[in-house]
A and B are shown apart, each in its own frame.
Chain A
Amino acid sequence: MNASQSELLPPLRIFVVENHADTLKYLRLYLEQLNHVVESARTMSDALAVLAMEKFDVLIADIGLPDGDGWELLRRAGPSRPGYAIAMSGFGMNGDRIKSLEAGFRTHLLKPFMPDDLDRSLEEAAVERTRIAASLGSL
């Protein structure tokens, strides 16, 4: 996907859970540049508190968090988990990817990841949200 296509995506409500300050800062900047609405947390417990109160289209979570991990976060979020979840980690090949898919993440980005890979996942999330909204509207 090129820059103009990614900017054409409808704005998504995105929740980023990342404890590394610089990664969080630049990830927010990037997502906001694409006109998405971004909120963030830096620990699993803070993230669970936010998820219990607000709804998001997409969760982007680091696997390594100070008080848990992204897999546990998704499991404990239960019904308040966003419809589309993206995992990020600095480790692993298939083992971690499979664990992420089994936990309910739709994709697993390996740091340092390419922004294009993130764009592709967000495009998929936007398409799914549109499809779900349309099917609910037709009921």
Chain B
Amino acid sequence: MPPPSTENPDLAPAGDAGGSSRDGDRLAVQMVERDRLRLAGALHNSACQSLSGLQLLAATLLKRLPEASGALGESIDELATLLREVSAELRGVVQWLRPPPMREDGLIVSLIELAAEISRAVPCEFRCEDRRMEVDPYVAEQLYQIAHASVMAVVQRRKATRIEIELAAGLQNGLSLSVRDDADGSDGPGLGDESGPCNWDLLRVRARAIGGTLTVDALESGGTDVICHVKKQA
């Protein structure tokens, strides 16, 4: 039996889902984005710069050392390896804090490009029957951020061999975005728990800010389906 959907009831939309509630959610998204951008900038100006310098220094020392430098050479080599690993981790953190904005070409092109980029790590397909559908720019940006965060979470946390991103039009100008992976469940709980780097609460607020809902469903097969339904575009 798969675990239940991980939608957090505390963060469910208010009963009337009125405009003021949506404005509040938009403001919350804006504040969080601003704060994350500030943190990413601070990390860039401190740790990223220092690590760049340290990596270059370690590489310089390695080049200067004669080949038979014994334990000293091995230690510097080990230092260089550690710096490389820390650098890769830090780059990942900065990318979580400052995800790329959607391309100016629109949501469809951005999702095609996202699928292509993710395919370098895990085969990723984008499906959309109506590629000419028009999406409100704010709705599009939030959907893109939800898709981006979801696929990044899959790539980092799941042993998936395939990811599908699907955008579908619904009734009355509604939309549905789905990010599905085919993990077999052997890599532990699905995506929706709060232990990974993905801020699911923020994604739910993003969904609410466009008048939608977000659920993270564990599939029978072990995979996960992240679904954002927007009843009617804002």
**Cα distance A114–B52 when bound, in Å?**
8
Check A33 against B48 for contact (C-beta < 8 Å): no
Number of interface residues of A (CB under 8 A): 29
**Does B127 count as interface, using CB distance less than 8 angstroms?**
no
Q: Which of B14-22, B60-68, B178-186 contacts A (4 or more CB under 8 A)?
A: B60-68
List 21 A-B residue pairs with CB atoms under 8 Å apart, sorted by A's residue number. Answer: A3-B63, A22-B53, A23-B49, A23-B56, A27-B53, A29-B57, A29-B60, A30-B57, A30-B60, A33-B64, A34-B63, A90-B48, A93-B95, A93-B117, A94-B113, A95-B101, A95-B103, A111-B49, A112-B55, A113-B52, A114-B84
| Minimum CB distance partner of B114 in chain A | A94
CB within 8 Å of A: which residues of B? Answer: 40, 43-45, 48-57, 59-60, 62-64, 83-84, 87, 90-91, 94-95, 98-101, 103, 113, 117
**Does A37 count as interface, using CB distance less than 8 angstroms?**
no
**Cα distance A24–B49 when bound, in Å?**
10
Q: Which residues of chain B are within 8 angstroms of A92 by Cβ–Cβ distance? A: 98, 100
Minimal beta-carbon separation of B58 from chain A (angstroms): 8
Pick the residue among B40, B55, B62 that contacts A3 (CB under 8 A).
B62
**Cα distance A25–B52 when bound, in Å?**
11
Q: Which residues of chain B are within 8 angstroms of A112 by Cβ–Cβ distance? A: 48-49, 51-52, 55, 83, 87, 90-91
Pick the residue among A27, A29, A89, A96 that contacts B100 (CB under 8 A).
A96
Minimal beta-carbon separation of A51 from chain B (angstroms): 23
Q: Which residues of chain A are within 8 angstroms of B43 by Cβ–Cβ distance? A: 90
Q: Which residues of chain B are within 8 angstroms of A93 by Cβ–Cβ distance? A: 95, 99-100, 117
| Minimum CB distance partner of B99 in chain A | A93
Pick the residue among A3, A33, A96, A110 that contacts B91 (CB under 8 A).
A110
Q: Give the contacts of A97-132 with B (CB-CB under 8 A).
A: 110-115
CB within 8 Å of B: which residues of A? Answer: 3, 6-7, 20, 22-23, 25-27, 29-30, 33-34, 64, 88-96, 110-115
**Cα distance A110–B87 when bound, in Å?**
10
Check B53 against A33 for contact (C-beta < 8 Å): no
Q: Which residues of chain A are within 8 angstroms of B98 by Cβ–Cβ distance? A: 91-92
**Cα distance A14–B101 when bound, in Å?**
32
Q: Which residues of chain A are within 8 angstroms of B91 by Cβ–Cβ distance? A: 110, 112
Check A26 against B51 for contact (C-beta < 8 Å): no
**Cα distance A114–B80 when bound, in Å?**
10
Check A33 against B90 for contact (C-beta < 8 Å): no
Check B55 against A114 for contact (C-beta < 8 Å): yes
Check B52 against A94 for contact (C-beta < 8 Å): no
* Most A CB within 10 A of own CB, among B63, B83, B98: B63
With A20-B49, A22-B53, A91-B98 in contact, is A111–B44 under 8 Å at CB? yes
